[in-house]
Amino acid sequence: MSKQTAHVSEKKKEEVNYVKKLIQEHKVILIADLTNLPSAQLQSIKTKLKKDLKIRVTKKRILRIAINQLKDKRDLTKLEPYLENCMPALLVTNKDPFSIYKSIKRSKSYIAAKPGQIAPTDLVVEPGPTNFSPGPIIGELGQAGIIAAVEGGKVVVKRRTVLAKEGEEITPKSAGILAKLGVEPIEVGLHIVVAIDEGIVYERVVLDVDEEEYLNNLRKAHFEAVSLAIGVSYITKDSIRILLGKAQREMLALSKNINLEIDVEPSNGEKPKDTENKGVEQEEALRMEEKKPEELKIETKEENKEKQQTQGSRSEEKKDRSQVYSKKAEEKAQEVLNKLKEEDIKRKEQSKRK
């Protein structure tokens, strides 16, 4: 007994092949939901976005067949569960899925609600004047639960009224009142359900990114990271300059507290003044003034030799110091810390001797 095979029309085969071709030629694949989208809006969206992507409206079965036949070349089986609860459309592009989502989101518009549709948000009529003249409209508003009165020849809504809560079905009376009030709560456009790029699946909640908020979060994270690095003295390319400035300020403050003389290399490249020699010369002049004239004697050769040795040692010490001060700021800070430690040790030893 021969096995019967189902007849598949050539039109369906051509559609499957065309869908497979679209998938193979493009890097990013998206699934959109066409529920409640009028054909006029769909054509408008196709025209606006034809440079960025291609849109193909086809049946779920055709999409599943095309996905399964391409499974060995490109695995898109992760998209199948997203075809269940929507009226799918295939979108293909070579651009970034986030930029495509943003473009599609901009193309959305709003229309009046129809009876039986689901309220996307709470549908509210706010208190205030309307454009209606007194007449039967007051009774219609009352039947919908809206309290109204006549003021200044116009109908005025007196109290805030919720005609339908989010997720509830819109009644015929509520839909009629909303249309007359000019309220258009139903968003129409391509609703992206999912996108896949290089095997990574992006759901709608991931694609819907507020760029300004995202950039602000990055700036805030960078600021907090640098602040933390400075707080714990962790050296990075962003914190090193601030830490060096902080170390120098603390170094100068500590040196003033313990009367520690610190030579700081001038920023203009000039050599530091020989303040130490000036201090020695002033001290020598005062000592000479205290002596009586008869006590002043001519210096001997030995005294001159001793003086030259002293000056030589001072010049060598000055040279060494200038080399130290020519190093980086962190080495200066470390040197000051070492001096502070030595001073502290000396003080402790002196207190023990006493």
At 180-227, the pLDDT tens digits run 888 888 877 788 999 999 889 999 888 888 778 888 889 999 899 988
Structure tokens at 325: 């001060």
Class (C level, CATH) for 123-186:
alpha beta
Query: Is pLDDT at 68 greater than 60 in this prediction?
Result: yes
Segment 14-34 mean pLDDT: 91
Note whether 157 and 147 are within 8 A (CB).
yes
Range with the largest mean pLDDT of 126-130, 334-338, 349-353: 126-130
Query: Is pLDDT at 259 greater than 70 in this prediction?
Result: no
Distances (CA, A) of 208 to 123, 194, 288: 24, 11, 87
Residue 169 is classified by DSSP as B
Question: H-type helices in 71-207, by residue range?
Answer: 97-106, 137-143, 172-180, 204-207
pLDDT at residue 21, as a whole number: 92
CA distance 116 to 340: 82
Using a 10 angstrom Cβ sphere, with 0-12 exposed, 13-18 middle and 19 or more buried, the burial of residue 299 is exposed
Using a 10 angstrom Cβ sphere, with 0-12 exposed, 13-18 middle and 19 or more buried, the burial of residue 46 is middle
Distances (CA, A) of 89 to 61, 133, 284, 298, 299: 12, 46, 98, 111, 108
Residue 298 is classified by DSSP as P
Query: Is pLDDT at 120 greater than 60 in this prediction?
Result: yes
Annotated domain spans of the chain: 10-108+189-209, 123-186, 231-295+317-353
- Return phi, psi of residue 97, to 5°: -65, -30
Note whether 77 and 68 are within 8 A (CB).
yes
Q: Which long-range contacts (CB under 8 A, 24 or more apart) does 221-226 make?
A: none
Whether the model clears a pTM of 0.75, i.e. scores above it, the answer is no
Query: Is pLDDT at 311 greater than 80 in this prediction?
Result: no
Rounded mean pLDDT of the chain?
77
Query: Is pLDDT at 90 greater than 90 in this prediction?
Result: yes
- Return phi, psi of residue 157, to 5°: -80, 125
Query: Is pLDDT at 92 greater than 90 in this prediction?
Result: yes
Residue with the larger pLDDT of the pair 239 and 267: 239
CA distance 329 to 315: 23
* One-letter amino acid of 351: S
Beta bridge partners of 186: 111
Structure tokens at 214: 């995202």
Segment 52-58 mean pLDDT: 90
Note whether 101 and 53 are within 8 A (CB).
no
- CATH number of the domain at 10-108+189-209, out of 3.40.50.1820, 3.50.50.60, 3.30.70.1730, 3.40.50.2300? 3.30.70.1730
- Read off the pLDDT band of 276 (50, 70, 90): very low
Query: Which residues are within 8 A (CB) of 89 and not within 5 positions of it... i.e. 6 or more apart?
Result: 31, 32, 33, 34, 55, 56, 57, 58, 190
pLDDT at residue 274, as a whole number: 47
Residue with the larger pLDDT of the pair 2 and 34: 34
Residue with the larger pLDDT of the pair 185 and 352: 185
Least confident interval from 77-91, 109-123, 334-348: 334-348
